[in-house]
């Protein structure tokens, strides 16, 4: 049973294209996140949703648009892809902070995006 799953695992595309990455969690969590890991392995949060509501939106270009159809899914759509978007994108989930403090985030396997 995969707790946090992402599709696709690999994505190779041309500059200017639009692509989506899907994330699903079966842990019963109500908070989900997107993180970006660059080529130097640096990890930075992009977005967070709690119960389908956007609660964190870091300084991410508006070409990136997250969508949460329900609390088990958080998708990431990227318009007009650029070379600099090449990275590994990780989805994560956790219980809400309202449940307790320091909730553990569980990460998906990542989507490796390469923009040519």
Q: Which of residues 12-51 bind other proteins (CB under 8 A)?
A: 31, 33, 35, 40-45, 48, 50
Cis peptide preceding 39, ω within 30 of 0: no
Rank residues 3 and 15 by Cβ distance to other proteins and give the closer one.
3
**Please, what is the Cα angle at 3 between 32 and 43, to 5 degrees?**
50
Q: Which structure tokens are listed for 3?
A: 């707790």
Rank residues 67 and 80 by Cβ distance to other proteins and give the closer one.
67
Instruction: Point out which residues pair with 100 in neighbouring strands.
Output: none
Binding letters toward other proteins, positions 53-72, x by CB under 8 A: --xx----------------
Closest CA to 37 of 105, 109, 104: 109
Half-sphere exposure of 11 (CA within 13 A, CB side): 25
Rank residues 30 and 85 by Cβ distance to other proteins and give the closer one.
30
Closest approach of other proteins to the CB of residue 22, in Å: 15
Q: Which structure tokens are listed for 116?
A: 């040519």
Which of residues 24, 64, 108, 115 is near other proteins by CB under 8 A? 108
- Where does this chain bind other proteins (CB under 8 A)? 4, 31, 33, 35, 40-45, 48, 50, 55-56, 90, 92, 94, 96-97, 101-110
């Amino acid at each position: 049973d995969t707790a946090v799953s992402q599709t696709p695992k690999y994505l190779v595309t041309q500059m200017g294209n639009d692509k989506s990455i899907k994330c699903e969690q079966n842990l019963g969590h109500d908070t989900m996140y997107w993180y970006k890991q660059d080529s130097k392995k640096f990890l930075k949060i992009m977005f967070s949703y709690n119960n389908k509501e956007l609660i964190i939106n870091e300084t991410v270009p508006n070409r990136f648009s997250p969508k949460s159809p329900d609390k088990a899914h958080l998708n990431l759509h990227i318009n007009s892809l650029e070379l600099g978007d090449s990275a590994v994108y990780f989805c994560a989930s956790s219980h809400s902070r309202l449940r307790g403090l320091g909730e553990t985030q569980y990460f998906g396997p990542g989507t490796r995006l390469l923009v040519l």
